[in-house]
């Protein structure tokens, strides 16, 4: 199979524009994050930006010259028009931070320095990360400029809310460099799942015994989280239904938090009405306490046993709602992995099942890697040895996309 996942980002050329906001001090971290991912990063700085961070820092981090002058001294034999060459080479023009002044100029097509000139000349997508004082941001002029730019197809990453360098609290913070680097990845990703609505269950469920105790399992949500991120990067509209986890999901996914198997069932029933694909990556409890005690069970109660009953079977319950939807299940097995998984796939009416080998180092719960088999009703599609959950997520999505 070719590069269907679009992860070949290393060859992409990102033009990083830095304008004169106080958050320019974070720009070197953005440049570093992008170069670490293998992007070719070229930096253009406005004159004001150089008051906040030096070209030398950016040149050192990117290993490339930093551009800022519209009319630089050129060697006599240089005949490339710099702003056009930079504009043509870019796969993405990221401006971070983008000042109110810069956005005003872009909204009105003003090209009075190298950065704004390149913004007019480039055919590459433009991603702006505005950052400024809260009153500058909420000013009608700035808001209108942002609306104009959005209407023209420019992407704008909303500023974060919090403490601002000027002493004010509110919207206007530059999002963290890692968040901006993620956004660059998403913009540049090959969108082969554009518009596909994917519902993913993740993590464990917790079945309460009393207000302080519960039954749960070792699931951390890592596999579901990798699937959610991969699907978002590839353009899918992702809704995650998550049991209690300590990981963070991709910022583009809508997350519905649940606790018990019953709550997860209800959330899946609701989410399914607007989904093309369901991926059940959660480790749902098989058994739940038959009775929930409102008050803490005391040591002196001399409890001998806890009566358990079967939890709701989510896949069996929602099966009548399947229609044209593509259903993917997960199985965690310690032995006869493929046989047990195939049996589960048939019993539950799934279109695909991913069976993990659990109980082995580097596979299953809490691990960053997995090994197992991917099976469809036609047979075993893939028997994979230990691989990263991120790569596995893309592999699973490749198989799903081929079958949609």
Ligand X SMILES: Cc1cc2nc3c(=O)[nH]c(=O)nc-3n(C[C@H](O)[C@H](O)[C@H](O)COP(=O)(O)O)c2cc1C
CA distance 195 to 140: 33
Given candidates 20, 33, 175, 364, which one binds ligand X under the rule CB under 6 A?
20
CA distance 351 to 146: 44
Helices (H) and strands (E) in the chain, counts: 13, 20
| Contact between residue 335 and residue 357 where contact means Cβ atoms under 8 Å apart | no
CA distance 45 to 330: 49
Q: Does 131 bind ligand X (CB under 6 A)?
A: yes
Q: How many binding residues for ligand X (CB under 6 A)?
A: 15
Q: Does 156 bind ligand X (CB under 6 A)?
A: no
Q: Does 70 bind ligand X (CB under 6 A)?
A: no
Beta strands 207-208; 214-215: pairing state = antiparallel
Neighbours of 253 (CB within 10 A): 22
- Can you give 367-389 as a three-state secondary structure string? CCEEEEEEEECCEEEEEEEEEEH
Q: Find, among 252, 239, 244, the residue nearest to 203 by Cα.
A: 244
Query: CB under 6 A: which stretch of 2-10, 34-42, 55-63, 131-139 binds ligand X?
Result: 131-139
**Shortest spacing between CB 132 and ligand X, in angstroms:** 3
Query: CB under 6 A: which stretch of 25-33, 41-49, 180-188, 384-392 binds ligand X?
Result: 41-49
Tokens linked to 144: 């209108």
Q: Does 260 bind ligand X (CB under 6 A)?
A: no
Q: 166, 202, 206, 232: which one is catalytic? A: 166
What are the φ/ψ torsions at residue 33 (nearest 5 degrees)? Answer: -60, -40
- Give the footprint of ligand X on residues 84-103 (CB under 6 A): 99-102
Q: Does 132 bind ligand X (CB under 6 A)?
A: yes
In this complex, which beta carbon is closest to ligand X, that of residue 119 or of residue 196? 119
CA distance 44 to 16: 6
Query: CB under 6 A: which stretch of 45-53, 200-208, 243-251, 341-349 binds ligand X?
Result: 45-53
Q: Does 49 bind ligand X (CB under 6 A)?
A: yes
3-state secondary structure of 315: helix
Q: Does 114 bind ligand X (CB under 6 A)?
A: no
- Is 79 designated active site? no
Query: CB under 6 A: which stretch of 20-28, 60-68, 145-153, 294-302 binds ligand X?
Result: 20-28
Residues that are catalytic: 166
The footprint of ligand X (CB under 6 A) covers 19-23, 46, 48-49, 99-102, 131-132, 136
């Amino acid at each position: 199979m070719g590069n269907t996942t679009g992860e070949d980002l290393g060859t992409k050329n990102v033009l990083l524009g830095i304008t004169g906001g106080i958050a320019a001090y974070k720009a070197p971290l953005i440049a570093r994050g992008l170069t670490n991912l293998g992007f070719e990063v070229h930096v253009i700085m406005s004159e004001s930006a150089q008051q906040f961070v030096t070209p030398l820092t950016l040149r050192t981090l990117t290993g490339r010259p930093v551009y800022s002058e519209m009319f630089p001294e050129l060697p006599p034999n240089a005949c490339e028009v710099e702003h056009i060459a930079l504009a043509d080479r870019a796969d993405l023009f990221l401006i971070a931070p983008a000042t109110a002044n810069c956005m005003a100029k872009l909204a009105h097509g003003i090209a009075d320095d190298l950065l704004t000139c390149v913004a007019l000349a480039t055919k590459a997508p433009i991603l702006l990360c505005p950052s400024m004082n809260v009153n500058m941001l909420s000013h009608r002029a700035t808001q209108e400029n942002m609306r104009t730019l959005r209407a023209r197809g420019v992407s704008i990453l909303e500023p974060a809310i919090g403490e601002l360098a000027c002493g004010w609290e509110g919207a206007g913070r530059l999002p963290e460099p890692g968040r901006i680097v993620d956004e660059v990845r998403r913009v540049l990703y090959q969108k082969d799942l554009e518009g596909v609505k994917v519902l993913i269950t993740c993590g464990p469920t917790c079945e309460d015994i009393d207000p302080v105790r519960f039954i749960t399992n070792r699931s951390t949500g890592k596999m579901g989280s990798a699937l959610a991120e991969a699907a978002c990067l590839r353009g899918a509209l992702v809704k995650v239904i998550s049991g209690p986890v300590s990981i963070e999901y991709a910022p583009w996914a809508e997350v519905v938090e649940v606790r018990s198997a019953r709550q997860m069932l209800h959330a899946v029933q609701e989410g399914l009405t607007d989904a093309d694909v369901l991926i059940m990556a959660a480790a749902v409890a098989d058994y739940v306490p038959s009775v929930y005690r409102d008050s803490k069970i005391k040591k002196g109660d001399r409890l001998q046993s806890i009566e358990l009953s079967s939890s709701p079977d989510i896949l069996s319950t929602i099966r009548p709602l399947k229609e044209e939807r593509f259903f993917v299940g997960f199985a965690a097995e310690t032995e006869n992995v493929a046989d047990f998984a195939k049996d589960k796939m048939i019993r539950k009416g799934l279109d695909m099942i991913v069976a993990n080998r659990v109980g082995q180092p580097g596979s299953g719960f809490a691990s960053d890697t997995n090994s197992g088999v991917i099976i469809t009703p036609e047979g075993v599609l893939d028997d994979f040895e230990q691989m990263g959950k991120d790569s596995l997520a893309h592999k699973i999505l490749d198989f799903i996309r081929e079958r949609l």
